[in-house]
Structure 1
């Protein structure tokens, strides 16, 4: 009987073994951090594709407008030539009679030369315009190809980004349940920068500090939410320096401006997490950045940030 009871107990589900323990706040944050590190690269590629798409679309629209303008001019010229041809057909005898049957042979020859010259000039102009339109059409088609390619890239990356965001949403839900999610305030007044920066670095940091407390959001370029590179780009734009949109592009842009981590100055750009994340060194061992989903623009210590590279704009 005892053996039978043991068998029954073995067959019963072990609820303690099957139930997943509820993760701690630290475990949830660690999992979210790992996910965001993976997502940084994907979102950076998505942002780059978006910029490529915007630029390609702008180029295509501009050259297409130019093509249409010249095409309209050619159509008008062609209509004019057709109209002249019809007129010559209908009234040719009257026009030519003045040339061939005039009392002055020299005037007749001069008139014939003028007609020939006029005809050649019309043909030359038409040929020039048609050649110009042909060239514009090739340019337009090329830009259209670039635009179509960029659209495809954007769509493909958007699908990948959607999958990552689903996972991030799961973690966000978990953090909310644990009371560890910081929604931030899109209208945050931020803070006043009082560090050692000067010149355009001071302007950049003053802008960045005014964003403190605003939420992090993938693809965010302000004013109510930011991603890491969006914040850095906007901050330095306020200082009169144009940076590329993504963290990887910003790192490449600064290839000739890199500085040692031992020689940091306030305003320097700092990367961590495989160059998929960028922030701004504020001086005094502090970094201002837009960290990850579920967090806000904030200031952290260098030891917390763990930089791996720096650029001085």
Structure 2
């Protein structure tokens, strides 16, 4: 049995290293145990605004994906109806061809010369043969039509399947954007919920103060500006929505997102606009800021993010963002990008 050896004592350098590491660990533990400094009301407000702004891009992408999905689904539904109609035509052709094919099957096994030789009345047989020949031509023509319709049906079903697959892809894309938006909104709500009641009062007061300074608190109940015709009808509708909440993806009647409001307003005036900010920008006739007329659609930041309607006197009506209501703001309250006339 080997002798037990006494453990070797650590050297001075090792003791010093261990002591330093222990001290550092103690310091880090003490620091990690301290709570992060709580953000101020202004910091929370700024971060919430940033999160809401970050949600606008995915919101418009969600709207575009949903719009495309609906369009593809409608096309697929029409294609399915057309396929059903074609199938009915094929069934009817088969019903007509069936008796002819059965007769040909019954007589097709005997050579025509043999049938003539065995016939008790050759003249009658020849008349029947001539009739059968005409029937055969009709049968061949019907078969050709049937084959053509079967090819059309196969192509129709192929196109329908492709549209349904594409619609599903856009549905998946919309679901992903929906999750992205909801994540931003959830984070914003969590920040707001972290405020005390007193801090929330201060936050609300600050927002009301900003609204008053921007001139949004003195909005009229109805439009009384210089617009006329369809533009006035659109603005009358928009003004009737003042105070209704912003809701992403909404087109009314109880809530709206930005392009949902502009689209609904012009729809009330008998003008159909596409769904998204980008689509409305592309569809409208561009006008310069100095040439804007009431009813024109204003785009802020870029051509995909946010829009509203010019009301005159340097102001616009819009559905701002989650947590706010349809309101009137100065045109220059956000970076102006462009304007278009439906």
**TM-score of Structure 1 vs Structure 2, range by shorter chain:** 0.7 to 0.9
Q: Does 2:158 match 1:141?
A: yes
Native 8 Å contact 1:33 1:292 kept in 2: no
Aligned-pair distance for 1:117? 1.9
Residues 10-57 of structure 1, C-alpha deviation per residue, up to 9 Å, x if partnerless?
A: 677359974322331x43333233223322222211111111111111
Distance, in Å, in 2 between the alignment partners of 1:214 and 1:154 is 28
Gaps of 5+ in 2: 1-22, 208-219
Cα 1:15–1:70 change in 2 (3 A) is closer
**With structure 1 as the length reference, what TM-score do the two structures score?**
0.82
User: In 2, are the aligned partners of 1:49 and 1:150 still within 8 Å (CA)?
Assistant: no
Contact residue 67 and residue 133 of structure 1 kept, 8 A: no
Q: Which runs of no fewer than 5 residues in structure 1 stay unpaired?
A: 1-6, 183-189
Bigger mean CA deviation after superposition, 220-229 or 157-166: 157-166
Deviation per residue, 1:134-187 (Å, 9 max, x gap): 2243133223213312322331342243133122122134336525579xxxxx
Match of 1:237 in 2: 267
Q: Deviations over 1:84-121 (max 9, x none)?
A: 4335555899xx89xx6547x4x654543332222222
Of residues 175, 178, 194 in structure 2, which corresponds to 1:158? Answer: 175
Is contact 2:287-2:339 (8 Å) kept? yes
> Is 1:198 aligned to 2:245, yes or no?
no
* Paired positions, count: 292
Q: Secondary structure at the match of 1:165?
A: helix
Mapping 1:46-195, distance limit 5 Å: 46-87=62-103, 89=105, 101-102=120-121, 105=123, 109-175=126-192, 177=195, 178-179=200-201, 191-195=221-225
Paired position in structure 2 for 1:259:
287
Secondary structure in structure 2 of the residue aligned to 1:281: strand
Distance 2:70 2:324 in 1: 29
| C-alpha separation in 2, matches of 1:33 and 1:82 | 73
Q: Counterpart in 2 of 1:23?
A: 40
Counterpart residue number, 1:305:
334
1:250-296 CA-partner distances (Å, limit 9, x unpaired): 11112xx1011111110000011222111001111111111111111
